[in-house]
A and B are shown apart, each in its own frame.
Chain A
Amino acid sequence: MSANPLPPKQRTKIPRQEMPEQQAAARRRNFDEVNRGLTVLGASTEAMRCLECAKPACVSGCPVGVKIRDFIALITAGDYLGAAAKIREDNVLPAITGRVCPQETQCEGCCILGKTFEPLGIGHLERFVADYEREHGELGLPEIAPPSGRKVAIIGSGPAGLSAAGDLVRWGHAVTVFEALHEIGGVLVYGIPAFRLPKAIVRHEVEALARMGVDFQANVVVGKTVTIDELMDEEGYDAVLVATGAGLPKFLGIPGEHLPGVSSANEFLTRVNLMHANEFPSYDEPVFDCRGRDVAVIGGGNTAMDAVRTACRLGARRSLLIYRRTEAEMPARVEEIRHAKQEGIELLTLANPVAFLSDDEGFLAGVRCLRMELGQPDASGRRSPVPIPGSEFEVPVAMAVVALGTGANPLVQSSTPDLATDPRGYIAADPETLRTSKRGVFAAGDIVTGAATVILAMAAGRRAAAAIGEFLESGAWIDAEAVG
Chain B
Amino acid sequence: MFPILEAEFLAPEIKRFVIEAPRVARKRRAGQFVIVRLHERGERIPLTIADGDPERGTITLIVQGVGKTTKLMNLLEAGDAILDLVGPLGSPSDVRRYGTVVVIGGGVGTAIAWPTARAMKQAGNRVVGIVGARSRQLVLLEPEMRAICDELEIVTDDGSSGRQGVVIDPLCERIMRGDRIDLVLAIGPVRMMQAVAEMTRPSGIRTIVSLNSLMVDGTGMCGGCRVSTRDGTRFACVDGPEFDAHAVDFDTLARRNRTYRDSEAAALEAFRADPNSAL
Contacts and interface: CB of A to CB of B under 8 A. Distances in A.
Interface of A: 180-182, 190, 218-221, 224-226, 247-249, 251, 253, 257-261, 263-264, 266-267, 270-271, 275-276, 280-286, 288-289, 362-363, 409-411
Interface string B241-272: 00000000100100110111011101100100
Contacts of B267: 280-281, 284, 286
Nearest to B269: A281
A260 B221 contact: no
B15 interface: no
A39 B238 CA distance: 48
Given A258-B228, A267-B224, A276 B219 contact: no
Contacts of B217: 180-181, 270
B88 A225 contact: yes
B88 A224 contact: yes
Contact of A284 (B42, B216, B221, B223): B42
B87 interface: yes
27 contacts: A180-B219, A181-B217, A182-B83, A182-B84, A190-B221, A220-B86, A225-B23, A247-B219, A248-B221, A249-B222, A251-B226, A258-B255, A258-B256, A260-B255, A260-B259, A264-B223, A266-B221, A266-B223, A275-B216, A281-B270, A284-B43, A286-B263, A289-B262, A362-B255, A409-B219, A409-B220, A411-B219
Given A182-B83, A248-B220, A266-B222, 4 more contacts: A224-B219, A225-B24, A264-B224, A280-B267
A286 B264 contact: yes
A284 B227 CA distance: 24
Given A182-B37, A260-B258, A286-B267, A221 B222 contact: no
A455 B216 CA distance: 28
A363 to B, nearest CB: 8
Contact of B43 (A248, A251, A275): A275
B68 interface: yes
B23 A220 contact: yes
In this complex, the interface size class of chain B, counting residues with CB under 8 Å from chain A, is 35 or more
Given A226-B23, A261-B259, A270 B221 contact: yes
B126 interface: no
B174 interface: no
Interface in B31-47: 37, 41-44
A260 B219 contact: no
B221 A251 contact: no
A46 B161 CA distance: 80
B164 to A, nearest CB: 33
A411 B264 CA distance: 31
B221 A249 contact: yes
Contacts of A190: 221
Nearest to A362: B255
Contacts of B37: 182
Greatest chain B CB density within 10 A among A220, A259, A286 is at A286
A445 to B, nearest CB: 15
B27 interface: yes
A253 to B, nearest CB: 8
B110 interface: no
Contact of A281 (B222, B223, B266): B266
B220 to A, nearest CB: 5
Given A225-B27, A275-B216, A280 B263 contact: yes
B122 interface: no
A465 to B, nearest CB: 25
